[in-house]
């Protein structure tokens, strides 16, 4: 089921939660709404679900206009941030709720309900815990119950609000992979909200980056990361180092530090750099003159993260270097180096 | 010196000591003297004192009216708590504060006010009279006075529990296709049920002993509109202290058992809800 959001806006009192925005989600697609808190992503998700009414605009599921359709008739699966399980009901009854809630004519027989719930519980690997109460489960298990409960009514659209926000890192990774599998198996259209760029980039077919109630960019994870539309998207998608200065004769200068820029635009006053686009060297060259002092070193993971300070920075920089370079250069707290950027990013000053 | 296992939280002996002292002074001491009064009675005298036909009629009146009042309060109190917990509207704080008025108001004032309002020529009573409904000086009046003085029990026990129920639980039920009634019955009611029962039970226990508000509106006709607490007062006026104590002991026993039952039941319910953790 495709979802079409057209010119939807929403205000809460005097604050604008959503400026009129449009969004097209294809059938079977998995889309992540990514943004900082207060960016309107949850409001948009709740409007799609029917838990919130838009002030203007319309929502279509396929050809069907659902703008004024009550949430209980929209047939969406919704997974809440804190799961919102029914605490007094067993895992089984939680999952069966949507089937039992149907009006008498459409309700499946008890045997049918039992079979379907059992099948779903097997799918989420909770069949042995069917009789437990939610309070007796771990966070990851509760999340799986919430998913099974939403899937029991066979929705064509699955909406998830910060689905993995409250879980620890390992469970989160496992559940992410598992959600991806479920998505492919059941072939529903999924929209999820997250403030974690890694989650959005890993899980989504397309990512919608939002800030201040408007959409900044809609793109696939690759092109989003490679070609961010503006400064906000760039800095939200990963760690950012900023170099601010004044442009003279092909150099952006700040005190003793400078970076060579290939631009004719004399208004340039800042460049942004990713940590992995910085090389640590013992001598400057024609590309840049950036003397730095090592402040901290964290040799964990596939790269070594080095925190750097210098008088010309407004905030400390972060560089990630290979273990090979780390062994060669032996950076330690207090040692001095130069940085050479392999790549830098500039954005038009008018973009946010 | 013998080593004692150390407690991390300080002040246990002091706080428990003071608590027990006060419990003894204001609860146990009067209760002991009450039982002391009873010792002057033989079992058959005691039996006779608590089975006096006029007294039995008053049991019936009191229990019936208290039941009606607490059931009414269960419904009205639930509604009130719902309004206060779920919606925001101008004047909500005032309404919230008004809910405690029955506790703050001297019960006699409540009784006199109700009696005036609902008497045959009172503001409300005069409207009800053409309909053939008499409130003041009838059983209905007793129930009304009891309901008035004990409604905060229900509101104040249900309201926090309702506020504690995340709105998401409601929304989850709706996204799963549940009708409003179905969602209320299967999601909200089970959550607030223990609070409703506790509040209603407290309201009932309080109604059983209500004196001040009731006597002014009851009319106090023997066998018809006399309540148990009035019977006790009558015994006292007749200097029949043992007889009053006999009735009091019975009322106390019933209230105690009722409260104990509520507490036990509630404990079991919450243990279930929190998965063994309290």
Does A348 or A201 have the greater pLDDT score? A201
pLDDT tens, B86-127? Answer: 888 999 999 999 988 888 889 889 889 998 998 888 888 888
Q: Residue A319: beta bridge partners?
A: A306
Residue B273 is nearest to which of A73, A82, A87, comparing CB atoms? A87
In a domain, A352, yes or no: no
Q: What is the pTM of this model?
A: 0.79
Closest alpha carbon within chain A to B182 = A101
Each residue's pLDDT tens digit, B157-187: 999 999 888 888 889 999 999 999 999 999 9
Q: In total, how many domains does chain A have?
A: 2
Could you tell me the pLDDT band of residue B259, with boundaries at 50, 70 and 90? confident
Is the pLDDT at B155 greater than 90, yes or no? yes
- pLDDT band, residue A164 (cuts 50/70/90): confident
Out of B177, B274, B276, whose CB is closest to A72?
B177
Tell me whether residue A170 is in a domain.
yes
**pLDDT for B164:** 86
Helix boundaries (H) for B107-240:
107-118, 125-128, 139-164, 167-175, 180-183, 189-209, 212-218, 228-237
- E strand or H helix at A289: strand A288-289
What are the residue boundaries of the structural domains of chain B, listed by start?
42-273
Whether A70 and A217 share a structural domain: yes
Task: Compute how many other C-beta atoms are within 10 angstroms of the C-beta atom of residue A64.
Answer: 10
Which residue, among A280, A294, A297, has the nearest Cα to A340 in the 3D structure? A280
A134 and A85 Cβ atoms separated by less than 8 Å: yes
Q: Does A69 touch chain B (CB under 8 A)?
A: no
Mean predicted lDDT score pLDDT of chain A: 90
Q: What is the phi/psi pair of residue B265, to 5°?
A: -60, -45
Q: Which two tokens stand for residue B96?
A: 């919230």
Tokens representing B56 are: 């039995």
Q: Does A196 lie in the same domain as A81?
A: yes
- Verify whether the Cβ–Cβ distance B186 to A101 is below 8 Å: yes
Q: At A277, which CATH number?
A: 2.40.50.100
* pLDDT, mean of residues A61-74: 92
Residue A119 sits in the same domain as residue A186: yes
In a domain, A140, yes or no: yes
User: B42-273 falls under which CATH superfamily?
Assistant: MetI-like (1.10.3720.10)
pLDDT tops 50 at residue A113: yes
H-helix segments, A167-289: 169-186, 197-203, 221-226, 231-236
- A 76-95 residues inside an 8 A Cβ radius of B: 76-78, 80-82, 84-89
| ipTM of predicted assembly, 2 dp | 0.81
Select from A184, A213, A236 the last residue of a domain.
Answer: A236
> Residue B4's pLDDT band (boundaries 50, 70, 90)?
low
| Tokens found for residue B260 | 């104990």
The predicted-structure confidence for B5-40, as pLDDT tens digits, reads as follows: 667 888 888 999 999 999 898 888 888 888 888 888
Residue of A nearest to B192 (CA): A88
Residue A282 lies in a domain: yes
- A326, A192: one domain: no
Span A315-342, pLDDT tens digits: 999 999 999 989 998 888 989 999 999 8
Residue-range definition of the domain harbouring residue A125: 3-236
Beta bridge partners of A345: A272
3 state SS of A92 = helix
Q: What is the per-residue pLDDT for B278? A: 39
Q: Is residue A352 scored above 60 in pLDDT?
A: no
Query: A255 or B77, which is more confident?
Result: B77
Q: Is A159 in the same domain as A206?
A: yes
Rounded CA gap, B202 and A249, in Å? 85
Taking CB atoms and an 8 Å limit, are B175 and A149 in contact across chains? no
Pairing of strands A214-219, A206-211: antiparallel
CA atoms within 13 A on the CB side of B6: 2
Is B268 an interface residue toward A (CB < 8 Å)?
A: no
Residue A160 pairs in a beta bridge with A79, A192
- Residue B278 sits at the chain A interface (C-beta within 8 Å): no
The C-alpha atoms of residue A8 and residue A52 are separated, in whole angstroms, by 11
**Contact predicate A108/A99, CB 8 Å:** yes
The mean per-residue pLDDT over the stretch A98-103 comes to 92
Other beta carbons within 10 angstroms of residue A189's beta carbon come to: 23
Percent pLDDT > 90 in chain A is 56
pLDDT: which is higher, A96 or B103: A96
CB contact under 8 A, B169 and A86: yes
> Chain B: nearest CA to A84, how far in angstroms?
5
Q: What percentage of chain B exceeds 90 in pLDDT?
A: 37
Place of tokens 């992540």: A32
């Amino acid at each position: 089921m495709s979802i079409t959001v057209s010119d939807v806006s929403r205000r809460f009192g005097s604050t604008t939660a959503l400026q009129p925005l449009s969004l097209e989600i294809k059938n079977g697609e998995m889309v992540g709404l990514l943004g900082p808190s207060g960016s309107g992503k949850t409001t948009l998700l709740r409007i799609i679900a029917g838990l919130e009414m838009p002030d203007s605009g319309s929502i279509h599921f396929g050809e069907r206009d659902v703008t004024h359709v009550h949430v209980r008739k929209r047939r969406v699966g919704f997974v809440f941030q804190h799961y919102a399980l029914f605490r007094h009901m067993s895992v089984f009854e939680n999952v069966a709720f949507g089937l039992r809630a149907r009006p008498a004519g459409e309700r499946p027989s008890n045997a049918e309900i039992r079979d379907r719930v059992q099948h779903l519980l097997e799918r989420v690997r909770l069949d042995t815990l069917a009789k437990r109460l939610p309070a007796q489960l771990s966070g990851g298990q509760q999340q799986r119950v919430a998913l099974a409960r939403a899937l029991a009514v066979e929705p064509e659209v699955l909406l998830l609000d910060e689905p993995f926000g409250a879980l620890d890192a390992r469970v989160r990774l496992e559940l992410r992979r598992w959600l991806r599998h479920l998505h492919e198996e059941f072939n529903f259209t999924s929209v999820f909200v997250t403030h974690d760029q890694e989650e959005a980039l890993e899980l989504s077919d397309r990512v919608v980056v939002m800030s201040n109630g408007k959409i900044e960019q809609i793109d696939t994870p690759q092109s989003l990361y490679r070609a961010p539309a503006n400064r906000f998207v760039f800095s939200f998608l990963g760690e950012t180092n900023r170099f601010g200065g004044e442009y003279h004769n092909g150099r952006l200068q700040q005190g003793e530090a400078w970076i060579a820029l290939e631009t004719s635009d004399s208004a340039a006053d800042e460049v942004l750099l990713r940590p992995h686009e910085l090389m640590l060297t013992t001598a400057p060259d024609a590309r840049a003159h950036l003397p730095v002092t090592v402040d901290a070193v964290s040799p964990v993971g596939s790269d070594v993260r080095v925190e750097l300070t210098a008088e010309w920075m407004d905030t400390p920089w972060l560089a990630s270097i290979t273990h090979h370079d780390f062994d060669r250069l032996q950076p330690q707290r207090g040692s001095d180096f130069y940085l050479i950027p392999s790549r830098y990013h500039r954005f038009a000053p008018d973009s946010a | 010196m013998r080593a004692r296992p150390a407690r991390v939280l300080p002040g246990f002996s002091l706080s428990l000591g003071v608590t027990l002292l006060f419990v003894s002074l204001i609860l146990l001491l009067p209760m002991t003297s009450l039982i002391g009064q009873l010792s002057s009675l033989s079992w058959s005298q005691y039996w006779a004192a608590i089975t006096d036909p006029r007294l039995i009629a008053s049991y019936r009146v009191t229990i019936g009216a208290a039941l009606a009042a607490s059931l009414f309060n269960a419904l009205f109190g639930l509604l009130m708590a719902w309004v206060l917990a779920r919606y925001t509207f101008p004047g909500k704080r005032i309404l919230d504060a008004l809910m405690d008025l029955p506790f703050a108001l001297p019960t006699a004032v409540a009784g006199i006010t109700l009696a005036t309002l609902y008497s045959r020529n009172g503001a409300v009573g005069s409207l009800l009279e053409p309909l053939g409904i008499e409130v003041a000086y009838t059983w209905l009046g007793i129930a009304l006075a009891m309901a008035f003085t004990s409604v905060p029990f229900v509101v104040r026990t249900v309201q926090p529990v309702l506020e504690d129920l995340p709105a998401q639980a409601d929304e989850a039920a709706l996204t799963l296709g549940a009708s409003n009634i179905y969602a209320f019955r299967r999601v909200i009611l089970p959550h607030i049920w223990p609070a409703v029962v506790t509040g209603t039970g407290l309201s009932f226990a309080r109604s059983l002993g209500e004196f001040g508000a009731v006597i002014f509106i009851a009319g106090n006709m023997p066998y018809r509109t006399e309540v148990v607490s009035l019977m006790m007062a009558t015994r006292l006026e007749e200097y029949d202290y043992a007889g009053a104590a006999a009735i009091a002991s019975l009322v106390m026993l019933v209230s105690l058992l009722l409260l104990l039952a509520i507490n036990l039941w509630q404990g079991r319910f919450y243990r279930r809800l929190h998965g063994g953790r309290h």
